[in-house]
Amino acid sequence: MTGAPPPFFPKAVRPSVSVTAALTLLVCVPLGRYAAPHPPERTVAAPWAPPGGRHPLGTDVLGRDVLSRVLAGGTQLLTVSLLAALAAVVCGAGLGLAAGWSGDRTARTVRALCDLLLAVPALVLALVLATALPGATAVVVAAVLAGAPLTARVVATQCAQLRDSGHVHAAVERGERTPAVLLHEVLPALRRLVAADAGLRLVTALQIAAALAVLGLGPQPPDPDWALMLSENLPGAALNPWALLAPAIPLAGCAWVFAAAARTAARVPGEAA
């Protein structure tokens, strides 16, 4: 009993490193713009100047400060991805609960619909949608169509198992109506599953949004967007590699952190990390 002092947080509520990192990113990225040393949309030096002097990461295709652009970028990408992930999870969970609760017939219909949607690759879906819809809308719709079926599948399976559990039976016996049972008894039991799933949906949405932006179907110049910066600066990779690396690192970093956070969220509290 004389070992290490007890942790500040009880184990059950102690936030994991990855979840903290994910939340920090969501807060910090939109604030980055205010830390930019130069106006991110103005030409301030020669194009593709290597790092040095007033430009620690050099300049980009138009002679704009790479560091400022990286700091200013990402907000739109994260906002769109978050919205897309949220929409996918809400749609997927709703569909999953309906299928899992109502049993055979509805479940089969939902499963068939999900299989159909999952047969189409998410990126192809996004590209087709982007020809008709604005970039951000296309990302959200594609993430829902590609992600919701996955969420629906796992939720439906778990929901079907919970239907037979004691506390759900008790609630039904009490005479509570189905929506109330789903909302108050089933959904809370599935919260970890849904949280973990949301993290994965966020990673997918991020990938779709980045892909569309690289192809020029997302934000338009002169917006500082990490993915757009990749395609803008590709021709100058040999002159200033940082114009390419600097936006690639946060882009990959975000996806990695969200995936890790999702994995952590899925873990049963108290289990070793």
Partner 1 sequence: MHQHPSPRSPLSRRSALTALAAVGALLLSACSGTPAADTPASRTGAPVDGGTLRYAVAGSPATASDDPHGGLGNESDVLRFALTYDVLTVPGEDGKTRPRLATSWKPNDAMDRWTLTLREDARFTDGTPVRAADVLYSLRRIGGKAAENYGRLADFDMAKSTAPDEHTVVLATRAPMADAPRALESVTFVVPEGTEDFSRPVPGSGPYRVERTSAQTTVLTRNDTWWGERPHLDRIEIQAVADPQARAGAVASGQADVAGSVSPAAVKSAGPSAKTQVVRRDGVTEYPFVMRLDTEPFDDPRVREAFRLAADREALVDTVFLGYGKVANDLPTPYDPSAPEDLPQRARDVKKAKELLAEAGHADGLSVTLHTTTSYPGMDTAATLYAQQLADIGVDAEVKVEPADTYWTAVYAKKAFYTGYYGGISFPDLVRVGLLSDSPTNETAWRSKSFDDGFARAMSTADEARREELLSGIQRELWKDGGYVVWGTGDGLDLAAPGVRGLPDGPGFQRMFIDQVWMAT
List of residues contacting partner 1 (CB under 8 A): 41-43, 46-48, 61-63, 216-217, 220-222, 232, 235-236, 238-239
In angstroms, give the least distance from the CB of 125 to partner 1.
18
For residue 30, give every residue at least 6 positions away whose Cβ sits within 8 Å of its Cβ, in sequence order, or none: 75, 78
In angstroms, give the least distance from the CB of 128 to partner 1.
13
In angstroms, give the least distance from the CB of 235 to partner 1.
5
Decide: 69 and 229 in contact? Cβ < 8 Å: yes
For residue 220, give every residue at least 6 positions away whose Cβ sits within 8 Å of its Cβ, in sequence order, or none: none
Query: Closest by alpha carbon to 160, among 148, 152, 149?
Result: 152
Is the Cβ of residue 43 or residue 102 nearer to partner 1 in the bound state? 43
What is the rounded distance in angstroms from the CA atom of residue 64 to the CA atom of residue 56?
12
In angstroms, give the least distance from the CB of 43 to partner 1.
6
How many C-beta atoms lie closer than 10 Å to residue 9's C-beta? 9
The strand pairing partners of 59, in sequence order, are 65
Is the Cβ of residue 46 or residue 180 nearer to partner 1 in the bound state? 46
How many C-beta atoms lie closer than 10 Å to residue 157's C-beta? 15
In angstroms, give the least distance from the CB of 215 to partner 1.
9
Is the Cβ of residue 103 or residue 235 nearer to partner 1 in the bound state? 235
Q: How far is CA 22 from CA 28, 70, 211, in A?
A: 10, 18, 21
Is the Cβ of residue 176 or residue 223 nearer to partner 1 in the bound state? 223
Is the Cβ of residue 62 or residue 259 nearer to partner 1 in the bound state? 62
